Amino acid sequence: MSSPEINVTPVAVVEEDRTAAILSYLTIIGFIVAIVIHSGKKTALGAFHLRQVLGLIIIGLGAGLAVGISAAILAFIPFIGLLLSGLLWAALWIGGIVLWVLGLIAAIQGKQTPVPLIGEPIQKWFANTFN
């Protein structure tokens, strides 16, 4: 006995929905504009990416503060402290840019793909945001 075939048709992405998702990644002004667009027409893709960007902003600010404090402490170690603080800042910036680009690519493609490492927790933390 064969199992019945299930015909799954992909859901068309509403252009406004994709626009809000993409705008949310483009500067803080784009994020605010995306919130305004999303408040006019709430969609799952827009809410998903608004939560991702909100999480990236908050985690980025927290990580920047932590690296800044660490760099200030490391400044007391001659040469090695400067080298280590530079590496910390570089890792923070490169990691942030990589996560931002991956999120932007998912928004452009109209997919609800969470950014690596922090995307799933962000969706849980802000589950009731932008609904």
Whether pTM exceeds 0.95: no
Instruction: Please give the average per-residue pLDDT across 85-92, as a whole number.
Output: 96
Q: Give exposure, 96-123, as e/b (b: 16+ Cβ within 10 Å).
A: eeebbebbbebbeebebebbeebbeebb
Percent of the chain with pLDDT over 90: 79
